[in-house]
A = this chain, B = another copy of it.
Amino acid sequence: MGARNSFKNINTYANRGMTLEADLKASNDYYLVNDIAVIYKKPTPITISKVNYPSRVEAVIKEGYFKTPSTTDYNGIYKGKYIDFEAKETKLKTSFPLNNIHPHQIEHLKKIYKHGGIGFLIVRFTVINKTFLLTIESLIKFLDENKRKSIPISYFEKYGYIIKDKYNPRVDYIDILNKVYFGG
């Protein structure tokens, strides 16, 4: 059983030590280079309080602070539609704690949905190596029907979509969007 698991791990992609963020960067690069979609991670919001200018061309930030983001991390365009999502990893095996996502990020996704965009979460359970896409519609349904502070993995299995490991793109969430929103 131990041997079988080791063998299995060698042949999966998510166990190569890549983070979800790195996998998404590689996937978004793939979509961009192949002219499939234009989706970027937003830079980390920072308040800069001190900057040095040692030369004309180069400024060095000497003091700055991380800000709470107002929006989700990822957005862009696919087949003319506005795409917006947040991506998170958890080491838990049975549920995803909602405190991983800022309340205003959930509010942001609700606004995107209301304005006709496609919003979702990508959640990776790192220990069991499963990555799910959960649409904002299903997230809203969960929040409306539950007072729980975490989403059980059974909810992802029932209402979410599993994103299988691939070589390229590593996290092919566009494939899921095709099935869910574009009749593909």
- Among A38, A46, A63, A71, max chain B CB count under 10 A is at A38
Q: Which of A108-137 contact B (CB under 8 A)?
A: 108, 111-112, 114-117
Interface size on A (CB < 8 Å)?
40
| A65-B63 Cα distance, complex, nearest whole Å | 11
Q: Which of A71-124 contact B (CB under 8 A)?
A: 71, 75-84, 108, 111-112, 114-117
B66 touches A63 (CB 8 A): no
Taking a contact as CB atoms closer than 8 A, the residue among B46, B61, B117 that contacts A43 in the complex is B46
Known: A108-B38, A115-B78, A117-B80. Contact between A60 and B60, CB under 8 A? no
Known: A43-B42, A64-B60, A65-B58. Contact between A37 and B115, CB under 8 A? yes
Interface assignment of A55: CB less than 8 Å from any CB of chain B: no
A111 touches B38 (CB 8 A): yes
> How many chain copies?
2
Interface assignment of A45: CB less than 8 Å from any CB of chain B: yes
A-side interface residues toward B, CB under 8 Å?
A: 32, 35, 37-38, 40, 42-46, 48, 58-67, 70-71, 75-84, 108, 111-112, 114-117
| Beyond A61-B66, A62-B63, A80-B81, 11 additional pairs, beta carbon < 8 A | A42-B43, A43-B45, A46-B46, A46-B64, A58-B65, A59-B65, A59-B66, A75-B76, A76-B82, A77-B117, A82-B83
